[in-house]
Amino acid sequence: MNKTNTWWKDEIFYQIYPASFKDSNNDGVGDIRGIIEELPKIHALGITTIWISPVYKSPMVDNGYDISDYQAINPQFGTMEDLDELIEKAKQLNIKIIMDLVINHTSNLHPWFQSAIKDPNSPYRDFYIFKDGKDGLPPNNWRSNFGDGSSWSLVPGEKNLYYHHVFSPQQPDLNWENKNMRFTIYKMINWWLKKGIAGFRIDAITFIKKDQDFASITPDGSDGLGKVKRKSENIPGIEKFLTELNENTFKPANAVTVGEASGVDYSQLDDFIGNDGYFSMIFDFHYADIDVKSGSEWYRQTDWTVKELQDGINLSQLSIQKYGWGANFLENHDQPRSINKFIKDPNYRNNIGAKALATLFFFLRGCPFIFQGQELGVQNIERNSIEEFNDISSKQNYHRALGEGFSPKQALKYVNDRSRDNARIPYPWNNQVNDGFNQGHQTWLALGKHAKEINWENENSDEDSILNFYRKMIKIRQLPQLRNELINGDFSTISTDSSNIVSYQRGKNIQVYVNLSSEVVDVNLPQHKILLNNYSTNESHKLQPYQAILIEVKNNG
């Protein structure tokens, strides 16, 4: 798209995971009416765009990312009329809605796939990827991206015919080589845009192109398999599909698009987010996954340093700035809670640590994305057995770790640290029954074990809460005298003498300093005015443990 109308640069995004946000009818699962009920609170936070994780019809094997009907609503979330009402009521509050778009795969219960496996002559047979096996084994040795087992499954009732799935067997991949399939998808996308949504977050979009040789690869695990992403993530030729997708859907509607674009090298950013790029912005996972060597192999943990995080942020910001716009995040539905991941000292996994991380990420160049509960300081929950997990990738990562020789105790720790269930626990609204998520029905996923002050009701009335800190940050970003610097100002690096400080500059006069350690550190600051501080006091030229400050530099050039 020729990005002359970049309205989305001003937006502050809030991601809602509907099953865990608010259960309005007390059936244990959050729903669309629950979102409608809480719109005023989202508005009061200062949010301008809500990203809703999938609410389409789905058997929920992967919590809605396995879609069985793109143009119907899962009854557990409500009705299409509910969604229309949400779009309209959000609009009245000047809040836009973007949907999650899952077009790498469907559910295995989608009528297209059911037709494809039942009838070799079905027009939908070529909507998916089918291959014959070899010597009684799958067509090649590609491993599922969820970490355990082949990315091929035998077609029910067949002896040697397999279908491909980057993710779970219940998520068969669409065949993007088929033009008819592609334009059927485009028609569906345009149907949604005409409903009045502002755009999409596009799921797993860099997986849509597979290497057409479908050759086996050198194994990278004891199971004799190799990561499927080596043959299906950001493969040459994907540019044809992404250009065509944009030209036929997003561009004519001036829609905002946020790509989940793993595997994209910084040298390719112009293609993805440049003036004629495929998307408005993309999520960069390079430093988001600093705690593991591979986002699909949680047992490969790292002992990362603050300097490595600073270097990762600098490289990401400067690379994106060169070509386009960024989508900055600490958390989402696929990540553990940031306070557990980035705050190494458990003593600061509290109000101070949460505000330090908030300051660090919120003022980076690009749109801030806040995941539900992040604004409260919600933390991971420790589970005692693999049976307590709902997330399909958690279960697969656990068994993969066992297969790689780790003990059950070690494997469980890795999954507890990284499980997507950490993000998906029901939202704590108050200290009443079921944290105010509903009126007492057993919740679809176990509640978190929050400190009693970690809930919306308590934090709303506490001036010093994490929630009110987020409100302050959002207001600061919109101040007329700071808005241009904080939204449009260039990102530039700042060097300090401490390896425990993350720091950067926005525009000419705004600087951020965050001490990510439990030690007091010396820092040489220019003459300044403090705009935001997660401590009630400030000692000149020193930062307290996990102290974060936003300053306006005086007479800086």
CA nearest 103: which of 187, 167, 182, 50?
Answer: 182
> In terms of domains, do 377 and 524 share one?
no
Could you tell me if residue 367 is inside a domain? yes
Give the whole-angstrom CA distance, residue 281 versus residue 278.
9
Could you tell me if residue 187 is inside a domain? yes
Residue 207 pLDDT greater than 60, yes or no: yes
Q: Which of 66, 148, 260, 391 is catalytic?
A: 260
> In terms of domains, do 289 and 394 share one?
no
Query: Of all residues in the chain, what percent carry a pLDDT higher than 70?
Result: 99
Residue 253 pLDDT greater than 70, yes or no: yes
> In terms of domains, do 357 and 244 share one?
yes
Which two tokens mark 280? Answer: 């408005």
Q: pLDDT tens, 354-374?
A: 999 999 999 999 999 999 999
Helices (H), 299-370: 306-323, 338-342, 351-362
Could you tell me if residue 146 is inside a domain? yes
Give the whole-angstrom CA distance, residue 107 versus residue 62.
9
Instruction: Give the pLDDT of residue 554.
Output: 87
Instruction: Give the pLDDT of residue 1.
Output: 37
> In terms of domains, do 97 and 119 share one?
no
Could you tell me if residue 479 is inside a domain? no
Contacting residues for 232 by C-beta, under 8 A, at least 6 apart: 142, 151, 166, 207, 209, 210, 211
Contacting residues for 207 by C-beta, under 8 A, at least 6 apart: 104, 145, 166, 173, 229, 232, 233
> Strand locations in 280-400, DSSP E?
281-283, 292-294, 297-301, 325-329, 367-371
Q: pLDDT tens, 65-100?
A: 999 999 999 999 999 999 999 999 999 999 999 999
Instruction: Give the pLDDT of residue 366.
Output: 98
Q: Which of 38, 203, 297, 417 is catalytic?
A: 203
Is 203 in the active site? yes
Could you tell me if residue 484 is inside a domain? no
Residue 296 pLDDT greater than 90, yes or no: no
Q: How far is CA 120 from the centre of its chain?
A: 37
> In terms of domains, do 255 and 361 share one?
yes
Say if CB 220 and CB 147 are below 8 A apart: no
Report strand pairing: 325-329 vs 281-283.
parallel
- SS3 at position 330: coil
Instruction: Please count the other Cβ atoms lying within 10 Å of the Cβ belonging to residue 315.
Output: 15
Could you tell me if residue 519 is inside a domain? yes
Q: What values do phi and psi take at 486, rounded to 5?
A: -80, -20
Instruction: Give the pLDDT of residue 557.
Output: 52
- How is residue 463 annotated by DSSP? T
In sequence order, what are the beta bridge partners of 491? 506
Band (148; pLDDT cuts 50, 70, 90): confident
Is 485 in the active site? no
CATH of the domain at 513: 2.60.40.1180
Q: What is the mean pLDDT of residues 437-466?
A: 96
Domain edge (last residue) among 378, 395, 418: 418
> In terms of domains, do 466 and 428 share one?
yes
Say if CB 298 and CB 415 are below 8 A apart: yes
Could you identify the residue written with the tokens 């674009």? Answer: 261
- 541 vs 513: which has the higher pLDDT: 513
Could you identify the residue written with the tokens 């030229």? Answer: 541
Instruction: Give the pLDDT of residue 4.
Output: 55
Q: pLDDT tens, 98-130?
A: 999 999 999 999 999 999 999 999 999 999 999
Number of domains observed in the structure of the chain: 4
Residue 41 pLDDT greater than 90, yes or no: yes
Name the residue range of residue 131's domain.
111-164
> In terms of domains, do 511 and 430 share one?
no
Residue 537 pLDDT greater than 90, yes or no: no
Could you tell me if residue 361 is inside a domain? yes
Query: Of all residues in the chain, what percent carry a pLDDT higher than 90?
Result: 95
Instruction: Give the pLDDT of residue 330.
Output: 98
> In terms of domains, do 220 and 255 share one?
yes
Instruction: Give the pLDDT of residue 376.
Output: 98
Residue 556 pLDDT greater than 80, yes or no: no
Band (10; pLDDT cuts 50, 70, 90): very high
> In terms of domains, do 54 and 21 share one?
yes
Instruction: Please count the other Cβ atoms lying within 10 Å of the Cβ belonging to residue 480.
Output: 6
Band (177; pLDDT cuts 50, 70, 90): very high
Give the whole-angstrom CA distance, residue 435 versus residue 450.
9
CATH of the domain at 364: 3.20.20.80
> In terms of domains, do 82 and 197 share one?
yes
Mean pLDDT of the chain: 96
Could you tell me if residue 169 is inside a domain? no
Residue 476 pLDDT greater than 60, yes or no: yes
In sequence order, what are the beta bridge partners of 49? 13, 96
Q: What values do phi and psi take at 366, rounded to 5?
A: 125, 180
CATH of the domain at 142: 3.90.400.10
> In terms of domains, do 465 and 398 share one?
no
Instruction: Please count the other Cβ atoms lying within 10 Å of the Cβ belonging to residue 270.
Output: 14
Domain edge (last residue) among 437, 471, 505: 471
Report strand pairing: 142-143 vs 325-329.
unpaired
Residue 411 pLDDT greater than 60, yes or no: yes
Say if CB 326 and CB 13 are below 8 A apart: no
> In terms of domains, do 49 and 149 share one?
no
Say if CB 41 and CB 50 are below 8 A apart: no
